[in-house]
Amino acid sequence: MSAFPKDFLWGAATAAYQVEGAHDADGKGPSIWDTFSHLPGTTYQGTNGDVAVDHYHRFREDVALMAEMGMQSYRFSISWPRLLPQGRGTVNEAGVKFYSDLIDALLEHNIEPMITLYHWDLPQALQDEGGWEARSTAEAFEEYARLCYQRYGDRVKLWSTFNETVCFIGFGYITGGHPPGVKNPARALQACHHVFVAHAKAVAAFRTSGINGKIGFVNVLQTHTPLSQSAEDLAAYQLAEGIFTHWLYDPVLKGEYPAQLLAQAQAVWGVPQFAAGDEQLLRDNICDFIGLNYYKRETIAANHHESHLTMNTSGEKGKGHQQGNEFGFKDLFKFVRNPTGVYTDWDWEIYPQGLTEGIMNIKARYGDIPMYITENGLGAKDPIINGEVVDDDRIDYLRQHIGAIEDAIKQGADVRGYYPWSFIDLLSWLNGFQKQYGFVYVDHNKGLARQRKKSFFWYQKLIGSNGAER
């Protein structure tokens, strides 16, 4: 027997841009990722989502594999420009039909759909009008959300508005590594505010939609540890907690920003600027649940230098966290390599206890909020031995993290589901196809043929025993 409740949902996750392909099929409009990934030098070896793993045309085969693995829920995202090519206004019925058919196929197999409304692929048309820096994008998002509720709300109970603000705002507006490629913290904070406004408007619309379901928000669960117990490392650690947790969770779980940080940001940059009614809007529209995406822990140290992000996008160990070039902000903090840490080939620390700690920290700060682990997984180049994909490292990683969730449940956390990233090997935004996460391998040399990995059969057993056999 495991400690997982009987109705715990064992699932897996993907995102539209990373699996669907069909980037201009059947009336879909371009997204900012379609544009960005076609610019030279933006992604690993120029990879893009034009075809991805062609889930758009093969979703029935993929859903059959999900069912065979025993999946009880599937987290996927909707491509906004597939439904609304201009971001608002005219509806592309062929796009609506694609997700409608996908939902029907899932339900036929008793797989509960969990929809993410925004997993980073903003319609390019809205970017051209200012993207998240323009308040009108929040209004367009509400229109898009209402359309999804109308068309899918009769069949879908689990919804989340946004995936990982820290990534699409942080990389999009601070480091410039994601579209729209801006490097300006003040612009980031205002764009981020509009995301919170869009979220709150979509939650408000959900609550009057008559849907018998729940709506939440998905954040990175970033567990931090200070590099040392020195006063300056501890101060840096506190600040990182404030920015990466409190700033990004408080508005959706408490309905307000952390007061001290807000005052500091407004004093230094004059942002975020609130429109009349924003404070009330946030307060009135707190989430029903929080989705947590956990991959790694970050070790935090004081930082006295200008630093730039050296990201490992090649999978050659040691390319990340290069001394003097770690991600950070001068006089605030930086992310450093933990001297005792165990790292993946992409320099992500493997630290399962961080998942238990992170869940318990969320519970301590926000009370008894229901939680779903909406992403967790190991990016690796999987070995193929005699034709079989032997992803033992992934099995180990998942086993340990499932144990960490069980520990949190035993300590009283209300965790209701687990969605490993990812159901199938897919396109990693900046790392191409070589960073694999799936239970299902896709052979790019054999017309994207699907193949079950060793982890597929392992997860199948685990689901069958509600987490006991692992």
The contact set with ligand BGP (CB under 6 A) reads: 15, 18, 163-164, 167, 293, 375, 379, 421, 428-429, 431, 435
Residue 18 or 299 with smaller CB distance to ligand BGP:
18
Q: How far is the CB of 347 from ligand BGP (least distance, A)?
A: 11
Residue 227 or 252 with smaller CB distance to ligand BGP:
252
Binding-site sequence positions for substrate: 18, 119, 163, 295, 421
Closest to 419 in 3D by CA, of 212, 114, 118: 114
Helices marked H in 335-413 — which ranges? 353-366, 392-410
For the CA atoms of 180, 185, 187, 189, the dihedral, rounded to the nearest 10 degrees, stands at: 110
The position carrying tokens 């408007």 is 201
Q: How far is the CB of 108 from ligand BGP (least distance, A)?
A: 27
Spatial separation of the C-alpha atoms in residues 336 and 340, rounded to whole Å: 12
Are residues 122 and 132 in contact, defined by beta-carbon separation less than 8 angstroms? Answer: yes
Task: Kindly report the length of the chain.
Answer: 470
Name residues whose C-beta falls within 8 Å of residue 39's C-beta, 6 or more positions apart in sequence: none
Spatial separation of the C-alpha atoms in residues 91 and 87, rounded to whole Å: 9
Please work out, in degrees rounded to the nearest 5, the angle formed at the alpha carbon of residue 284 by the alpha carbons of 278 and 289: 115
Residue 18 or 48 with smaller CB distance to ligand BGP:
18
Q: How far is the CB of 277 from ligand BGP (least distance, A)?
A: 31
Q: For residue 339, say if its preceding peptide bond is cis, omega within 30 degrees of 0.
A: no
In angstroms, what CA-CA distances link 148 with 26, 197, 419?
18, 18, 22
Name residues whose C-beta falls within 8 Å of residue 182's C-beta, 6 or more positions apart in sequence: 172, 173, 174, 176, 188
In angstroms, what CA-CA distances link 101 with 19, 212, 314?
16, 20, 36
Q: Which two tokens stand for residue 394?
A: 């992934």
Residue 219 or 299 with smaller CB distance to ligand BGP:
219
Residue 178 or 454 with smaller CB distance to ligand BGP:
178
Binding-site sequence positions: 18, 119, 163, 295, 421
Q: Which two tokens stand for residue 112?
A: 């509960």
Residue 92 or 293 with smaller CB distance to ligand BGP:
293
Please work out, in degrees rounded to the nearest 5, the angle formed at the alpha carbon of residue 46 by the alpha carbons of 44 and 50: 115
Closest to 377 in 3D by CA, of 406, 410, 353, 400: 400
The SS3 of residue 31 is strand
Question: H or E segment at 372?
Answer: strand 371-375
Q: Note the Cα 333 to chain centre separation in Å.
A: 24
Are residues 116 and 163 in contact, defined by beta-carbon separation less than 8 angstroms? Answer: yes
The position carrying tokens 């995301």 is 195
Q: How far is the CB of 426 from ligand BGP (least distance, A)?
A: 8
Are residues 183 and 124 in contact, defined by beta-carbon separation less than 8 angstroms? Answer: no
In the DSSP assignment, the letter for residue 30 is P
Report the catalytic residues: 164, 375
Name residues whose C-beta falls within 8 Å of residue 180's C-beta, 6 or more positions apart in sequence: 32, 36, 127, 131, 172, 173
Are residues 152 and 115 in contact, defined by beta-carbon separation less than 8 angstroms? Answer: yes
